[in-house]
Chain A
Amino acid sequence: MRERVVVAMSGGVDSSVAAALVVRAGYEAIGIAMRLWEPAGGELAGRSGCCSLDDFLDARRVAHLLGMPFYVMDFRDEFRQAVVAPFVEEYASGRTPNPCARCNRFVKFGALWHRARELGASAIATGHYARLVMEGGEPVLRRAADRGKDQSYFLFSVEGERLRNLLFPVGELTKAEVRETAAALGLPVAAKPESQEVCFAPGRAHGALVAQLAEPGRVRPGWLVDERGKRVGRHDGVHTVTIGQRRGLGLGGGRRQYVIAIDAETAVVRVGSRDALVAAGLEAREANWLVPRLPVPGTRLTVKVRSRHSGAPATVLDVRPEGFRIRADEGLLAVTPGQAAVLYDGDRVVGGGWIARALGPEEVGEG
C-alpha cells in the first residue's frame, strides 16, 4: 500500500503546489483545509483572507484537479486556545507575539498531526518554504532555497521528533518556480496574491481584536514618555505599539523617535533615539532544539530576531534545555520580547526560543 500523506491546504498557491508535488512523488495524498477562525461578518464571510469560503473552494478545486480526497475540518477550538488566546495575552502584557510559530507547533503539527494519524497518514505536508533533509539518519531543518521566502524562522518550535513526519515540498523551489509549476499544472490558484499578514487579524486589525478579546480594563490608553521620563504623547494601549516602531506615534516632526520600552503594568511606553534600540544580546525562554546535542557556550551561530531579519552573528553565552542567552557580535536592533530568537548554523536551524528581554553590554560581558 502507498504511504498516506495529509497535505494541509489553505487554497493558496504554495500549499496547492505542495499537494501537487506530494501526488507526483507517488504518495496517497489527502487534502485537509483547516477551519481556524471565524472571519468577521458571519459564516465564512469575505471573498478572501483567513478561512473564507473562497479559499476553501480554491483548495477543494485544486484537490479535485489532482484527484485527491479533500476535507475541511474544524480546528477553531484548538486555534483559539493555542494561538489566539496567547496572542491576546502577549499583546496585553506589552510583548509582540508571533502567532504563526505557535500555530505551526500546536495546530498544524499538533492537532492536525493527530487528525492525520486518525486517518492513517504517516506524514503531513505543508506549503512552507523550508528544507527538511535526512542527514545521517537525522532530520535536519534548513532554510528554503528561496532566501527571500524562507519560513524556517516560524518552524523553530516544532517538536524535534515531529520533523520525521513532515514534508515541505516547495522548500527547494523559488516562489517564481512555484507559480510556474502551478501554471503548468493548470491550477486555478497560480496567480493568486500572497497573504503574509497574521491570518486572523489582517492589516492593523490586531489592536481592535486584542481590545475586544482581552479582559475588560486589561488594555488601556497611556502615556508616551521620552528617555528622561517626560510625557510627550498618548497611546491607545500597549497592545497597539511594538518595540522599534516609529510611525503612528503622533509625535510630529523633529528628531526620529522609536518605541524603546513598553511597561504594561503602568501602560507607559518609552520612546527614544535609534541608539537606544540597540541591544548587546538577548535572553530567550521556552527553548526548542532541533539538533541532537545542545550548543555549548562560545559556539558561534547566526541569530534571527524577527521574521524579516536577515540574521546577525552571535555567540552563545549559556544554554539550558529551557532557555538560552546569546551575545550579538555587532549588536541587535529592536530586540522585541514575544518574538522568536532563532539560531542558525549556516542555513541549518539549531533551535530557538521566545525572546524574554534584551541584554545590555554589561550583561554580556562587555563594557
Chain B
Amino acid sequence: MIYLDHNATTPVLAEVVRAMLPFLERDFGNPSSAHRLGSNARCAVEEAREQVARLIGGEAAGVIFTSGGTESNNLAIEGVARASGRPGHVVTTQIEHSSVLAPLARLEREGWEVTRLPVDEEGRVAPEAIAAAISPATRLVTIGWANNEIGTIQPIDRIGAICRARGVPLHVDAIQAAGKVKIDCAAADLLSLSAHKIGGPKGIGALWVRPGLRLEPLLLGGSQERGRRAGTENVAGAVGFGVACALASRRLQAVARLAELRERLWEALRDLPGVRRNSPLRGCLCNTLNVSFCGFSADALVAALDLRGIAVSSGSACAAGASEPSHVLRALGREEALARDAIRFSLGPETTAAEIDEVGAAVRSIVCARGERLAGGTHA
C-alpha cells in the first residue's frame, strides 16, 4: 500500500508505540493517585506536556491535553466565548476546518456575530482584511495556520501582530501545520494541536493557552489540567504525543524534501486533460497537493487508486465517505464540479520517489483510459 493520505492521519511511529506501551502494561496508575503508580503516571504526563510545549516554543503550564484537534478547537472557541460572558464578535475565514466553523455557527445562533473573511484564489486571507474586520466587540480571531485540504499557509506572524496591537486574542489551528512547518506560538494566544497528524496516536491533542488568558472549561468534574479540562488523563496517549512532538522537531528537515516529491508528482499530472492544481505554488505545506480532474469523479478516482493499492483522499467527504463539494475550494472561487472532483495527495516523511512515480503513472492510466473510452464512444 502506498499511503498518500498523511493529512488525514499518519502511521504511529515505532518510538511512539515503544514509549506508550509501559503506560498500558505496567504503569497504569491514575495520575491523581497518591501512590507510586499514580506518581509515575503524573510525571510521565508532565514530561509529555513539556515536550509538546517545546515543539511550539511555549510554556508547559499553558498546555491542556484534550481528546484531539476537534476538542482543542471547540475548547478554544467555546472557552473564550463563555469566559467573555455577553455575546460578542469573532473573526475567521471561509476555509476553516469544520471543527472551527461548527462551534462558530452555534455561537451565531446564540447571538454572536461571526465575520467569515474571504480568501484569494490561493486560499490566503489578507491580514489587512482581518485588521479591518476587528471591532471593539471582537472577542476572538481564529485562523488556521495551514489548510488541511489544499495546504495554503497563512501569514500568521502578521496576523498575530495585528491582533496583539488591537488587543484581541488570536486562536491558531495549527493541527495541519505542526510537523510540516516550524511552529512558534509567539504569534498566538491559543493554539490547537493533534497527535495523530504527526506520528502520534489518535485520541489525544492539545490546546496551548497563553498564561493569564481566561478560558471557561467545557468538561467539568475534576481538577485535571489545572481545572480547564476535567477527566482522568489519557496517560499513554499523552506520552505518545510527547514523543511524537520531540521527533517532529527533529524530522522537519526530512519533511522539507517532500516539496520536491510533491512537484515531481505534479509534473506527472499537469498535462492530463481537465487537470487543475488547487494547492498554491508558493506558501503551501510541503506535503500537500490538491488537484481537480474536471469531469472525473473524485469518488471513482479514489476507488480506482485504492484498488491499485494507493490511498488518497477526495478533497472533501461526507460522513459516509462519498465526496462532496469542498467549502474550501468554493471559497477559492472554484465552480461546483471542480470543488467536488478534487483529490488530495498528502505525502509523509516515509514517502519515496519511486512511490510518487508509481502514483503518477497510476493516475495517468486511470484518467487516460476513461478519456479513450469516451472518445471511442463505446459504452458496452
Chain A residues with CB under 8 Å of chain B are: 30, 32-33, 35, 43-44, 51, 53, 56-57, 69, 71-74, 114-115, 117-120, 161, 164-165
Give the number of chain B interface residues (Cβ < 8 Å): 22
Decide if B318 touches A161 in the complex (CB within 8 Å): no
Q: How far is the CA of A73 from the CA of B297 in the complex (A)?
A: 9
The residue from A51, A57, A119 contacting B300, defined by CB atoms under 8 A apart: A119
B380 at interface, CB cutoff 8 A = yes
Query: Judging by beta carbons under 8 Å apart, are A115 and B318 in contact?
Result: no
Do A43 and B319 have beta carbons less than 8 Å apart?
yes
Q: Which residues of A contact B373 (CB under 8 A)?
A: 117
17 of the cross-chain contacts (CB-CB < 8 Å) are A30-B307, A35-B320, A43-B318, A43-B319, A44-B318, A51-B320, A53-B319, A69-B306, A71-B299, A71-B302, A72-B322, A73-B297, A73-B299, A119-B300, A119-B307, A161-B380, A164-B380
A72 close to B307 (CB less than 8 A): no
Min CB distance B377 to A, Å, is 13
Q: Cα distance A56–B319 when bound, in Å?
A: 10
**Contact A35 B306, beta carbon cutoff 8 Å:** no
Q: With A115-B297, A118-B370 as known contacts, state yes or no: A73 contacts B380, CB within 8 Å.
A: no
Decide yes or no whether B366 CB sits under 8 A from chain A.
Answer: yes
Q: Please give, as numbers and ranges, the residues of chain B lying within 8 Å of A30 by CB-CB distance.
A: 303, 307
User: Measured between alpha carbons, how far is A35 from B379 in the docked complex, in Å?
Assistant: 23
Q: A30-B307, A44-B319, A51-B320 are in contact. List 6 more A-B contacts (CB 8 A).
A: A33-B320, A35-B322, A43-B319, A57-B320, A71-B299, A118-B304
How many Å from the CB of A114 to the closest CB on chain B? 8
Which residues of the partner chain A approach B299 to less than 8 Å between Cβ atoms? 71-74, 115
- Determine whether B321 belongs to the interface, using a CB cutoff of 8 Å to chain A: yes
Q: How far is the CA of A71 from the CA of B299 in the complex (A)?
A: 8
Residues of A within 8 A of B302 (CB): 71
List residues 322-347 of chain B with CB under 8 A from any CB of chain A.
Answer: 322-324, 340
Contacts of B300 in A (CB 8 A): 73, 115, 118-119
> What is the chain B residue whose CB lies nearest that of A74?
B322
Within residues 359 to 380 of chain B, which ones have a CB less than 8 A from any CB in chain A? Answer: 366, 369-370, 373, 379-380
Q: Which residue of A lies closest to B308 (CB)?
A: A120
Collect the chain B residues with CB atoms within 8 Å of residue A44's CB: 318-320
Which residues of A sit under 8 angstroms from B297, Cβ to Cβ? 73-74, 115, 118
Is A118 within 8 A of B366, CB to CB?
yes
Separation of A51 and B304 alpha carbons in the complex (Å)? 23
- Is there contact, CB below 8 Å, between A74 and B307? no
Q: Give bound CA distance, A152 to B367, whole Å.
A: 36
Per-residue CB proximity of B41-62 to A under 8 Å, as 1/0? 0000000000000000000000
Pairwise interchain contact A71-B303, C-beta atoms closer than 8 A: yes
Cα-based distance from A258 to B380 in the complex (angstroms):
46
- CB contact under 8 A between A119 and B320, given known A73-B297, A164-B380: no
Contact in complex: A69, B307 (CB < 8 Å) = yes
| Interface positions of B from 133 to 177, Cβ below 8 Å from A | none
* Per-position 1/0 for B283-322, Cβ under 8 A of A: 0000000000000010110111011000000000011111
The residues of A that contact B319 with a CB separation of less than 8 Å are: 43-44, 53
In the complex, the chain A residue whose C-beta lies closest to that of B378 is: A117
Contact A71 B318 (CB under 8 A): no
A268 to B373, CA, bound (A): 51
> Which one of A72, A117, A118 lies within 8 Å of B321 (CB-CB)?
A72
Q: Which single member of B303, B318, B321, B380 contacts A119 (CB below 8 Å)?
A: B303
Complex: chain A residue closest to B300, CB-CB: A118
Q: Which of B321, B340, B366, B380 contacts A71 (CB 8 A)?
A: B321
* Complex interface: chain B residues within 8 A of A115 (CB): 297, 299-300
Task: Tell me the minimal C-beta distance from B372 to chain A in angstroms.
Answer: 12
Determine the chain A residues whose CB is within 8 A of the CB of B369 once the complex forms.
118
Could you tell me the distance in whole angstroms from the C-beta of B304 to the nearest C-beta in chain A? 6
User: Could you tell me the distance in whole angstroms from the C-beta of B308 to the nearest C-beta in chain A?
Assistant: 10
Cβ–Cβ < 8 Å partners of B324 in chain A: 74
Contact B320 A53 (CB under 8 A): yes
In the bound assembly, the distance between CA atoms of A43 and B319 in angstroms comes to: 7
Which residues of B sit under 8 angstroms from A57, Cβ to Cβ? 320
Contacts of A164 in B (CB 8 A): 380
Closest CB-CB distance, A11 to chain B, in whole Å? 10
Question: Of the candidates B306, B323, B366, which one forms a contact with A74 in the assembled complex, judged by CB atoms under 8 Å apart?
Answer: B323
Decide: B303 and A69 in contact? CB cutoff 8 A.
yes
A106 to chain B, nearest CB (A): 13
| Chain B residue nearest in CB terms to A59 | B320
Q: A56 with B321: in contact, given A71-B299, A73-B299, A117-B373 (CB under 8 Å)? A: yes
Shortest distance between the CB of B229 and any CB in chain A (Å) = 28
Which 10 residue pairs spanning A and B have beta carbons closest together? A73-B299, A56-B320, A74-B322, A72-B321, A35-B322, A72-B322, A72-B320, A71-B303, A118-B300, A44-B319
- Least CB separation from B325: chain A residue: A74
Closest Cβ neighbor of B370 among chain A residues: A118
Which residue of chain B has its CB nearest to the CB of A76?
A: B322
How many Å from the CB of A200 to the closest CB on chain B? 16
> Which A residues touch B323, using CB under 8 A?
73-74
Query: Which of B303, B306, B324 is most buried by chain A, counting CB atoms within 10 A of its CB?
Result: B303
In this complex, what residue of B is CB-closest to A38? B318
Contact B304 A119 (CB under 8 A): yes
Interface residue ranges of B250-272 to A (CB < 8 Å): none
C-alpha spacing A120/B304, complex, angstroms: 8
Inter-chain CA distance A197–B291, complex, in Å, is 40
**In the bound complex, how far is the Cα of B365 from the Cα of A103, in angstroms?**
31
Q: How far is the CA of A51 from the CA of B323 in the complex (A)?
A: 14
How far, in whole Å, are A340 and B127 apart by their CA atoms in the complex?
62
Q: Which residue of A lies closest to B299 (CB)?
A: A73
For A35, list chain B residues within 8 Å (CB). Answer: 318, 320, 322
Could you say which of B318, B323, B366, B370 has the most chain A C-beta atoms within 10 Å of its C-beta?
Answer: B318
Q: How far is the CB of B316 from chain A (nearest CB, A)?
A: 11
